[in-house]
Amino acid sequence: MANVTTVQVLTDLRTELLADAGIVSAIGQRLYMMQAPQRSPRPYAVYNVIAHVPTLSHDGDYSQARIPIQVDVYADSEAAAISAADAIKAKLIGLTATRGSTSIQVGVLDAERSEFEPETELRRVSIDFDILFAT
């Protein structure tokens, strides 16, 4: 697979996530890249690239890349945020899929944390994953 871009990977990942009934039940189609529209109905999720890291090998093969991503779930209640985050985790942990032009493999859950956002009065659950894909 040649010239797969980060945007393609993230677009294909979104399609894969929204094909899951548990995720759609929790957040509908409200899964946004980078930023949610203002006044988005809740709960919703936003995913961002934390970094883009080439996977190196001893023989110089750069045929795979790693993208650490963060998914933030926002909701009015802690229970709704946790429930939606759990649906996303259930889909991502151990995921291996080909969607569109991308062969996606999700490594492990790197981190998870919960917060209350006083400015918006929303609860947020953040989960970090590594996405591996062929370049």
pLDDT of residue 135: 67
Asked whether residue 27 is domain-assigned, the answer is yes
> Which range, of 18-22, 82-86, 103-107, averages the lowest pLDDT?
103-107
Pick from 125, 48, 49, 42: nearest CA to 88:
125
Asked whether residue 1 is domain-assigned, the answer is no
Asked whether residue 59 is domain-assigned, the answer is yes
Task: Provide the mean pLDDT of the chain.
Answer: 88
Domain that holds residue 101: 6-134
Asked whether residue 11 is domain-assigned, the answer is yes
Is residue 41 reached through a cis peptide bond, with omega within 30 degrees of 0 on the bond before it?
no
Asked whether residue 57 is domain-assigned, the answer is yes
* Residue 94 banded pLDDT, cuts 50, 70, 90: confident
Domains contained in the chain, number: 1
**Widest Cα–Cα separation across the chain:** 51
* Residue 20, domain CATH: 3.30.2000.30
Within 10 Å of residue 30's Cβ, how many Cβ atoms?
20
Q: What is the pLDDT of residues 23-80, one digit of tens each?
A: 999 999 999 999 999 999 999 999 999 986 766 667 766 667 788 999 999 999 999 9
